[in-house]
Amino acid sequence: MRHQFNWVNGAYQLASRDVIQVINPATESPIATIDSTPQETVNAIVVSSLQNFSSGVWSQADASTRFTVLSKAANLLRARLHEFINLETRQTGRPIREMKAQLFRIPEWLEYFASLARTHEGCVTPFKGPVVNTLTRLPLGVVVQITPWNHPLLIATKKIAAALAAGNSVIVKPSESAPLSVLEMGKLFQEAGLPDGTLQIVSGYGRETGKFLCESPLISKIDLTGGLATYEAIAPTASKNLIPITAELGGKAPVCFFPSMPIEKGVKAALFASFIASGQTCVTGSRLLIHSEIYNEFVEQLVRRTMSLRLGDPTDDRTQIGAVISRASVERCTAFVSHAMVEGGKVLCGGKPTDVDGKGFFFEPTLIETKPDSNLASNEVFGPVIALIRCESEEEIIRVANATSFALGASVWSNDFNQAHRVAEKINAGIVWINGHHLNDPSSPWGGFKESGLGKENGIEAYESYTKLKSTIINYGQEPTWFDDEVENARYG
């Protein structure tokens, strides 16, 4: 079994004493080991990253240099996508057909932020008097990025691209459950011309290595994709150290279906929203809010289509539903089903763990008819267990959609143009799709409200969040007169 080393200062480092096994969730077989990086090593990496930043080798590089490096990284990644697709499938258990679709777009994030680094401009404010006030954006320093296992390469690339484009030195801690593709990115960026030490990739448990990174007073920003508990664990120390946090913390996305939407099209939409990645995304369509006028026929077709989904070997192009990430995930799904039944929910299909050839962490695609205030309708499962809720009116759909503590994503399905926009406007979520779901683009800000988190990935908003704004005020005609005899023209403030 191979060991995947940390990428530090432009080289793969010697393994630490303690290692972590990375398991293929579809076969339960170990595929690699990674470092469980201890605190003294973490501290040394942070110090080294700060030295890199202070040297100016990247933080003071021309915008054209950042553009060239990130653009070349995009080209290198595009040329090696077949390797990353296979690796992502093995470490996540997601069907290879999904990974092909997702990974083919990832180079776009590097290209977008490369272009933003080259074209983003400062400005001059309308300062009163013979004064010029310029605003410029500077990199923050050493930034720490904590990335998840469900979209390992996509989410890490989104964060890395924005941070590097702005001139920061970056330390990434990928999830210990699926770190391998991210750890491979260090060598790729080196080949693209990124100075050694500008991107460090460090593995380990979140509760240890991740915690050590986030507690360092030498870092300038934390960017986290994870759960609320993780945010609550790191926020107090970050607050004490005056370190800003961008946090994407999950969701409970409502998918709202109205009578004007053809049922067959709506059912296809529900399947896509709910079961991509076996329901393991932050914007999984985990609550289907279906208008009562179409409810019975919609649910009948949806159950039939769900039961026909092909669950199996993720490396088979025909497989539509792959594994969940771990045995703990299977147990979590099982617990949600049991709780739903206790609360009076009706399991329409699925509801049980399963396997492929006696192995793997698989759970049947599951539909449960339930109430709007049930545990299943209120809390994140992160698995293929979906709540179906009958709603009597547009007003009820809006009310139910806004009734959870999450507010990341939502979608509205209606061929009534006025209704679609009216409902979208009233849904409280950071991302609302009309007649779409899971749509993403490097230019489109991504982030939620309430317990779904703080700040944004993607877009100019993400780039600017990795900068600090400097105001330079140039006096070219105002004489200093405050303490002279004639002060009627003196200015203060």
What residues act catalytically? 248
Is residue 202 within 8 A of residue 45, CB to CB? The reply is: yes
Parallel, antiparallel, or unpaired: how do β-strands 245-248 and 221-225 relate? parallel
State the first-to-last Cα distance of the chain, in angstroms, to the nearest integer.
67
Closest CA to 383 of 249, 278, 276, 270: 278
d(C-alpha 256, C-alpha 358), whole Å: 37
Angle at 108 between CA 227 and CA 84, to 5 degrees: 70
Place of tokens 């720490």: 144
> Kind of pairing, strands 7-8 and 11-12?
antiparallel
Q: What angle do CA 257, 258, 261 make, to 5 degrees?
A: 90
Residue 136 pairs in a beta bridge with 470
Question: Rounded to an integer, what distance in angstroms lies between the CA atom of residue 173 and that of residue 82?
Answer: 24
**Separation in Å, CA 278 to CA 166, 273, 274:** 35, 10, 8
> CA torsion sign, 456 to 461 to 467 to 470?
negative
Range 16-23 contact pairs with CB under 8 angstroms and sequence separation of 24 or more: 16/41, 20/176, 20/203, 20/204, 20/205, 22/91, 22/176, 22/177, 22/178, 22/179, 22/180, 23/177, 23/326
Place of tokens 């050493």: 142
Distance CA 199, CA 179 (A): 15
For residue 413, report the phi and psi dihedrals to the nearest 5 degrees: -120, 105
Whole-number Å distance between alpha carbons of 111 and 120 = 14
**CB count in 10 Å sphere of residue 471:** 10
Q: What is the dihedral of CA 68, 468, 446, 165, to 10 degrees?
A: 10
